[in-house]
Structure 1
Amino acid sequence: MPPTSQEAGPVNLLRPLLLMAYSGYYIIPTIIESILAFNFKPFKSFDDFKSAWFARFWVWFGPRSTENAGQSVMPLLRNSAQGVCLDIGPGSGEWLYMFAQANNKDITKIYGVEPNPGMHKKLRENAVKAGLGDVYEIVGCGAEDLATKGGVEKGSIDTIITVQCLCSIPTPEKIIRDLYPYLKPGGRWLVYEHVRTKYQSDFVGYWQKAVNLAWPTFFNGCDITRPTDEWLLQAGDWEEVSLRAGKGEGKYDTVPHVMGTLTKRK
């Protein structure tokens, strides 16, 4: 899966620093908003604060991230999801308009697996806005608890969707293996994810590791050095695999992607 043609130059290496600055800006508004609302839960632990901070930041940044990546993600998601879907880590639902039944008439049910309760209100609003209010069910647990807390049966899912979420899920390799059995035979996994750069011997390989020392704090646990594409390939028996690098991404991309589909063997 070689990366596609390079479009950005060396200055693109600084982009992660700009994105972390955007995130950091929302620390102070999160503190002020929590105090004014007499909501002191975010101050009980750093993890609670990061969840509140990221939720507030992502409401602003999510739509802009979607717009930036839309040209890559739209062909992947539109007219591709069908039947019963498992939407892993949908955040505030910035991609849901692509699942609108006008574009995906064969969708019958979507389970939105989002453990951050700070995202649920906006996620529900976006589901209704996309005309999915009657088929979209928010499951407020992690992917690792789907069977015990989410009530989702293995072998019942036609389409799994992971868009920029496997980078922040705990124990991702295990969860990817655990999600595979939820797919029906012939079911499809649609993926658009951050991955470890393929240019490990170039400067960007070392730069990505350095950036990743701070990145997870500013992006709610997101790890940009995971070989997610390799873990997906190893998750189970695939009948068809169609994965590629993000459009125009090359050796100056610190936060590269893998995108495409994997089809479970019948």
Structure 2
Amino acid sequence: MSTPPSTHPTGPLNLLRPLLLISYSAFYAIPTIINLLITFNLNPFFSFEAFKDEWFARFWAFFGPKSRENAEPKVMPLLQNNARGVCLDIGPGSGQWLYMFAKAKNPDITKIYGVEPNFALHGALRENAEKAGLGGVYEVIGCGAEELSTKGGVQPGTIDTIVTVQCLCSIPTPQKIIKELYPLLKPGGRWLVYEHVKTKYQGDFVDYWQKIIDYVWPHFFNGCNVTRPSDEWLLQAGEWEEVNLRPGDGEGPYDTLPHIIGTLTKKQFEPLQQ
């Protein structure tokens, strides 16, 4: 998750950034409860997981556009003109990045599967797909990334581009899922990534602070974890022909929510010996 530009502190004050974001999320529990009562939608009160889905969907409707505004300068060069063929969009949420997949910006895209297990976000996701002119291209799959082969019908070696933007921090068993997603890529296929990662400043204060924050953060951000070494897991997923990964711009020893951004290209099959 990214902070709106106007509330992004610098230097040591940046250590307080996660507390600010948590306060934003906590506030939205109140209107969620009120709305559920007014609409007589009482079912989420009997399941904390269902309530958290409603809570996060309402919070993200407010915060998502602001997060996108802050991250757009970093994500746009990654997505625009890099996605091609059949794409797998993992954890798209409400579809805040779909406008970057529009045909005018990515004419080589033929199909996009949006893998989003939170059904409360499907309405907004389909609406944003239509707004981006992807109505006949974008298909929502309502299952977890770990269920793509069994419930999603996606077969190995059929995907040209995998896109993970701020989602590997939230999916369950991420290391296992990354290894399961790798075979879905065609040889020469590309994985586009912009993700939270474990801080590289091990042993510094931010290392311990990040671990403390991670005890609380997932409860306010729909299961998001901020201490996952997703970049390392990606590198270990299989054989890569080319790796272009770099840290987030300007991030350093006071960032509790550091990122990794870039592409990984799957190794081509070795030619058969005559």
Q: TM-score, normalised by structure 1?
A: 0.96
Within-5 A mapping of 1:3-82: 8-82=10-84
2:161 is the alignment partner of 1:159: yes
Within-5 A mapping of 1:120-131: 120-131=122-133
Counterpart of 1:249 in structure 2 is: 251
Q: How many angstroms apart in 1 are the aligned matches of 2:166 and 2:66? A: 14
Counterpart of 1:229 in structure 2 is: 231
Within-5 A mapping of 1:137-156: 137-156=139-158
Listed one character per residue, the Cα deviations across residues 70-101 of structure 1 (whole Å, up to 9, x for unaligned) are 11101000000000000000000000111111
Q: Runs of 4 or more off by more than 2 Å in structure 1? A: none
Q: How many angstroms apart in 2 are the aligned matches of 1:36 and 1:156? A: 46
Q: Return the letter of the residue paired with 1:250.
A: G
Q: How many angstroms apart in 2 are the aligned matches of 1:166 and 1:20? A: 19
Query: 5+ unaligned residues in a row in structure 1: which ranges?
Result: 1-6
Q: How many angstroms apart in 2 are the aligned matches of 1:157 and 1:40? A: 40
Q: How many angstroms apart in 2 are the aligned matches of 1:146 and 1:90? A: 15
Cα deviation, residue 146, structure 1: 0.5
Cα deviation, residue 15, structure 1: 0.7
Cα deviation, residue 8, structure 1: 2.9
Counterpart of 2:271 in structure 1 is: none
Provide the identity percentage.
71
Cα deviation, residue 39, structure 1: 1.1
Describe the SS at the equivalent of 2:51: helix
Describe the SS at the equivalent of 1:158: strand
Q: Return the letter of the residue paired with 1:105.
A: P
Listed one character per residue, the Cα deviations across residues 120-145 of structure 1 (whole Å, up to 9, x for unaligned) are 11111111111111100000000011
Q: How many angstroms apart in 2 are the aligned matches of 1:203 and 1:261? A: 30
Counterpart of 1:240 in structure 2 is: 242
Q: Return the letter of the residue paired with 1:184.
A: K
Q: Return the letter of the residue paired with 1:220.
A: N
RMSD of aligned residue pairs (Cα, Å): 0.9
Q: Return the letter of the residue paired with 2:239.
A: D
Describe the SS at the equivalent of 2:113: strand
Counterpart of 1:3 in structure 2 is: none
Cα deviation, residue 42, structure 1: 1.2
Q: Return the letter of the residue paired with 1:39.
A: N
Describe the SS at the equivalent of 1:214: helix
Deviates more, 1:46-55 or 1:155-164: 46-55
Q: Return the letter of the residue paired with 2:23.
A: A
Within-5 A mapping of 1:165-176: 165-176=167-178
Q: TM-score, normalised by structure 2?
A: 0.94
Q: How many angstroms apart in 2 are the aligned matches of 1:41 and 1:72? A: 39
By relative contact order (CA 8 Å, sep 6+), the higher-ranking structure is 1
